[in-house]
Amino acid sequence: MTLQHIAVIGAGTMGSGIAQTCAAAGHTLLLIDIHEQALGRGLQIVQKNLDRQIEKGTLLPAQAIETLQRIHSSTHYTDLDQMDVVIEAATEDLLLKRKILQQVDTHARLDCLIASNTSSLSITELAASIKHPERFMGIHFFNPVPIMGLVELIRGLQTSDATCSTAGALIEQLGKTAIHTQNRPRFMVNRILIPMINEAIFVLQENGDAQAIDASMRLGCNQPIGPLALADLIGLDTVLGILDNLQTGFGDPKYRPAPLLKEMVAAGLLGKKSGRGFHVYS
């Protein structure tokens, strides 16, 4: 099918990033949120991202204007009736996402692909929110969406092959690389990444040198950022939440959070957003 008209539900950081990426690839984009103020903030995020690309010389001003002109906004789900794809990008709250998906299902065409950008919730459980779960799957983008080249595609128990094929075609049109992963807690990337960060925190408990740990992974493993600095960037409370989710989902003690991580979160030292984590930020 021709994937021309795409809707994104949720105008936050992820939603606005997905909107920008789709519009930049030539799609007509409808951004939906419950408040006009949220939509305004989302469009401001897109504008700032585009301005930053212009400053870096990776985008022409005319291209930025064309991208913005392809993005339309609305507070009404009734505007979904002409969409080819709808991507839910609300916060990681199961009840909220299910409520949104029920409304999407009411107004979207029967041949419309419905997806969630969830990074943690069960795709099969979310699919139960709509009448035809075979047309639902997970399309997990990474932050910042316009820059990160990977997208996880997660099929639920009832997701059809046709739905997977359509999602794969969309990601290809966006110029990104898709990996297919099973519907398991935290899917693939976070399931590998977060335990690595947790292990770095265990090592920090033993030798107490955050700079050395990050340097060892940057210089020894060619990672662009050390695991402790990355934890600060993600947010230590978020890292702890993911580890708790992995331990609950798999029942495996290897996902137990490092005691130092729990202590840091309890102290409010959450990383870059609080000004201090494993490193200090001005």
The H or E element spanning position 87 is strand 85-88
First to last CA, the chain: 50
Catalytic choice (119, 183, 198, 245):
119
> Catalytic residue at 119?
yes
Catalytic choice (152, 183, 198, 245):
152
Decide: 130 and 105 in contact? Cβ < 8 Å.
yes
Give the integer Cα–Cα distance in Å for 32 and 16: 10
Catalytic choice (73, 122, 140, 198):
140
> Catalytic residue at 117?
no
> Catalytic residue at 152?
yes
Determine whether 128 is exposed, middle or buried from the number of CB atoms within 10 Å of its CB (0-12, 13-18, 19+). middle
Catalytic choice (16, 73, 117, 190):
190
Give the integer Cα–Cα distance in Å for 47 and 60: 13
SS3 label, residue 56: helix
**Structure-block tokens of residue 177:** 């690389």
> Catalytic residue at 199?
no
In what side-by-side order are the strands of the sheet with 136-141? 71-74, 28-32, 5-9, 85-88, 113-116, 136-141, 150-155, 177-181
Give the integer Cα–Cα distance in Å for 119 and 122: 9
The count of other CB atoms within 10 Å of the CB of residue 26 is 13
| DSSP strand pairing (136-141 vs 150-155) | antiparallel
Active-site annotation, residues: 119, 140, 152, 190
